[in-house]
Chains A and B, each alone.
Chain A
């Protein structure tokens, strides 16, 4: 097993943080773009770029409500995204087991 088997959509520092943060929410919940930005610490432009990659893969859902200054965007992890994170975690555990390191919690 090698690191090539890790899902490349998730296997980037910013996207990994985004997916793990959204996974901390209960099923059916979403997070506003601004709160997610606070938690991740990215610029709006960088965050939206990473979110689009995740959206294209079907891992997150972005919903806009309102428009102009009152517009808000909410982001949630899809079932596919949660499954992809579970698979990513499994592969990562196996890699760390091979290397003799502590697996992620």
Chain B
């Protein structure tokens, strides 16, 4: 949009200062501040709820598909598709909320967001490449398509959240990041089938818990 604006209608402007008393100024400050915070801040609870539901149902679908496999084969293609669609849905919701709140906002936050996306995408690509390498090296399906495939992306997400929390001093993200790191590390001990259930429940509920607690934690920022 062309922002080379015409200044003519502002010429000779009465700025209204003469009629502004202290109470009026306080009311303007409160109203403008609340509106700016409401419009410009990213609403994390909705993003966390979408992610929590996607994790619960997506990882849950995979757990249902591997439950009872003897020997372990790995997630059924239909379950993997369900997970990808749900994660895609959660990502689309997050992108929409972030895009609306940050429209027209530039500077340091924009750079931080781009670096975070790059770090997360690089981590996920590295997880996939490593998975192929471990498979190529002869590891069992239980390890490659069970423990590793379930836990490694969770570890990447947890580390990215935790590092981001340091940059933004966001305690919600720190709590979520540390929780996901614990879920990835601890869930791996549940074995190739159990790790999907642990990730679905602990990861999904972690997101939902953060959606509930986040606003209270962020007030202390």
Interfacial residues, chain A to chain B (CB-CB below 8 A) = 3, 6, 8, 11-17, 20-21, 23-36, 38-40, 43-50, 53, 67-74, 76, 89, 92, 95-96, 99, 101-105
Contacts and interface: CB of A to CB of B under 8 A. Distances in A.
A96 B2 contact: no
Contacts of B40: 24-25, 39
Contacts of A43: 9-10
Report the interface size class on chain B: 35 or more
B20 A32 contact: no
A99 B23 contact: yes
Nearest to B104: A35
Given A6-B25, A104-B26, A49 B7 contact: yes
A24 B28 contact: no
A99 B25 CA distance: 14
B17 A74 contact: no
B9 A45 contact: yes
Nearest to A26: B109
Given A39-B36, A102-B26, A68 B2 contact: yes
The 5 nearest A-B residue pairs measured at CB: A35-B104, A49-B10, A28-B108, A45-B9, A24-B36
Contacts of A28: 107-109
B36 to A, nearest CB: 4
A50 B107 contact: no
Given A48-B7, A71-B4, A35 B103 contact: yes
B22 A92 contact: yes
A30 B13 contact: no
B30 A104 contact: yes
Contact of B20 (A12, A20, A71): A12
B108 A29 contact: yes
B29 interface: yes
A80 B35 CA distance: 23
Contact of B3 (A30, A34, A104): A34
